[in-house]
Amino acid sequence: MLSEIGVRMVLAGHSERRAIFEETDAFVNQKVKAGLDSGMIVIMCVGETSAERENGKTTEVITRQITKGLKDIETSRNLVIAYEPIWAISGGDPNKPKPIATKKQIEEMHGLIKKLLANQFGDDFIPVLYGGSANDKNAAEIFSMKGVDGVLVGGASLDPDKFVALINAK
């Protein structure tokens, strides 16, 4: 239905859908397959909660989400991955500031994701975006990080001037 009305890109596995609607990795996999089968570009989101990070489960969680979310996917064509550490997403509430992921944390996770993708798809280039509260103030630094191919913008896209500044930060 989405492709019939001209939709060209779709998100699968966004943290809010995983949390609110309890979407499993297997369900995300079905959505990825459906999107790819429809010829759309699929942005599959992965990320850990603060509890998972604090308990040393980050690598395990990201590996599981990538492995199960991309199960039986044979082509990397039209596939994009977005790493969105849930604990670093602002949710748009300025009264509840979230911690910001460090350069080391971002680069480590992007490196892990790229390794997992290379194991499954070979040397095909699959963009890996960062989606943890990217905005006009931190975009230039994020764009300069190893393994970061772009950003998945949330609340920062709501203000046109700030969004343009974010785009121009590259």
Sign of CA dihedral 88, 90, 94, 96: negative
> Measured between alpha carbons, how far is 114 from 125 in angstroms, rounded to an integer?
9
The answer for residues whose C-beta is within 8 angstroms of residue 64's C-beta and 6 or more apart is 25
The DSSP bridge partners found for residue 150 are 129
The DSSP bridge partners found for residue 130 are 83, 151
Do residues 23 and 17 lie in contact, with contact meaning Cβ atoms separated by under 8 Å?
A: yes
State the catalytic residues.
14, 84
| Tokens read off for 100 | 């910001």
